[in-house]
């Protein structure tokens, strides 16, 4: 890989066209090159066999073509596969993506950052330092590689994509939006935006921006408490993005997009699993068209929380349903390989954390 050259996948279509014209090529070459980059997921310029050798040489001299590397795959007894992806060939920069099979869906859970800056108490990723915002290409690569894995293992492609892996997507806003465009576009993977969900811990300004941009994908909010004091305790982001501020941003999002958000709510034993907690959640949902996913807690090393009891969960669900709210109880998958919600922390098959060093985020 040539050092110091720009990554060709960082160029816009207009920039790519300009570069090709400056090489003496016709503008129609843009479509050919883009198809190799974003539909066929070429790993090198030599793979672009429909292009002449002269153009391939020019591209090689002018650009790099950087793709992530899959360095490990762990298989759960329930069929879930957790993949470790290395960024820029750096063993200290590793993210995880998960292929989650169910009877009706094949879902790719992908990461948006190396590490995370939010430090939510219940999340293993939050214990890592933020090392880097992933590029659009690096997020696209996770989807493309997990889609290939889905075809290999299940003889069919992905049905859904969720940005619920490592990192806070809305703190990497521009690259996340661009990655969705690459995944849904042509040239690209031509997947429906309605099959994509971006999950946020609650960045109010960015939620409003999603509305202003009239995005077509789905939005999930990691809520976990409908009480500011409790949410402050487990999610420091709530101190600057409290529930009232979030509610205003969410209403703006719904007004602009017509899409109802999903509230993700992990139910912790003796913390947020009581009937009063359910009433607070119902009240918060009262003025925001929404769906609710109740999630069983997946313990992390030395964590302070425990999973609630089935009886308390049933009572919680019953109260919400009595308020005519749409409620789904989501069972975790891949727990035996630390691939479930909140468990992604770059652990290898031996249960050891991948090597890493602290650097300034990109």
Residues 6+ apart with CB under 8 A from 103: none
Both tokens of 78, joined, read: 């329930």
- The three-point CA angle 114-118-124 to 5° equals 65
Cβ neighbour number for residue 242 with a 10 Å cutoff: 15
Strand partners for 83: 73, 97
Residue with tokens 């993210």: 95
In angstroms, the CA 207 to CA 169 distance is: 11
**Measured between alpha carbons, how far apart are the two ends of the chain, in Å?**
20
Distance of CA 79 to the CA centre of its chain: 20
Both tokens of 142, joined, read: 């996770």
**Residue 140 and residue 183 in contact, taking contact as beta carbons nearer than 8 Å:** yes
Query: E-strand spans in the chain?
Result: 69-75, 81-87, 90-101, 106-109, 113-114, 132-133, 160-163, 196-200, 218-222, 262-267, 291-296, 327-330
Both tokens of 224, joined, read: 């976990």
Give the active site residues: 96, 341
* DSSP label of 8: G
Identify the burial level of 24 via C-beta atoms within 10 angstroms of its C-beta, where 0-12 means exposed, 13-18 middle and 19 or more buried: exposed
């Amino acid at each position: 890989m040539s050092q110091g050259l720009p990554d060709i996948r960082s160029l816009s279509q207009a920039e790519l066209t300009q570069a090709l014209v400056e090489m003496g090529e016709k503008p129609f070459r843009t479509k050919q090159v883009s198809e190799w980059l974003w539909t066929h997921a070429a790993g090198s310029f030599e793979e672009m066999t429909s292009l002449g050798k002269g153009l391939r040489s020019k591209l090689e001299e002018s650009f790099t073509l950087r793709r992530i590397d899959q360095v490990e795959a762990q298989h759960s007894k329930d069929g879930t596969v957790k993949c470790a992806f290395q960024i820029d060939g750096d063993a200290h920069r590793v993210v995880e993506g998960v292929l989650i099979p169910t009877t009706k869906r094949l879902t790719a859970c992908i990461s948006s950052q190396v590490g995370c800056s939010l430090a939510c108490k219940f999340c293993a990723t939050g214990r890592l330092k933020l090392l880097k915002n992933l590029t659009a290409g690096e997020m696209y690569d996770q989807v493309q590689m997990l889609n290939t894995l889905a075809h290999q293992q299940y003889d069919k492609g992905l049905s859904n994509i969720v940005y619920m892996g490592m990192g806070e997507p809305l703190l990497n806003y521009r690259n996340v939006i661009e990655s969705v465009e690459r995944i849904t576009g042509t040239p690209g993977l031509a997947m429906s935006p309605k099959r994509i969900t971006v999950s946020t811990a609650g960045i109010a300004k960015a939620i409003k921006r999603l509305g202003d941009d009239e995005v077509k994908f789905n939005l999930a909010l990691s809520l976990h408490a409908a009480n500011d004091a409790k949410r402050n305790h487990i999610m420091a982001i709530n101190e600057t993005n409290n529930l009232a501020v979030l509610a205003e941003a969410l209403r703006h999002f719904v007004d602009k997009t017509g899409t109802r958000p999903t509230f993700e709510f992990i139910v912790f034993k003796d913390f947020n699993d009581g009937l009063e907690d359910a009433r607070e959640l119902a009240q918060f949902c009262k003025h925001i068209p929404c769906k609710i996913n109740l999630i069983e807690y997946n313990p992390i090393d030395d964590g302070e929380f425990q999973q609630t009891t089935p009886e308390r969960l049933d009572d919680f669900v019953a109260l919400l349903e009595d308020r005519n709210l749409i409620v789904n109880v989501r069972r975790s998958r891949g727990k035996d390989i630390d691939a479930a919600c909140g468990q992604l922390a770059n652990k290898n098959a031996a249960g050891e954390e991948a090597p890493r060093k602290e650097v300034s985020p990109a």
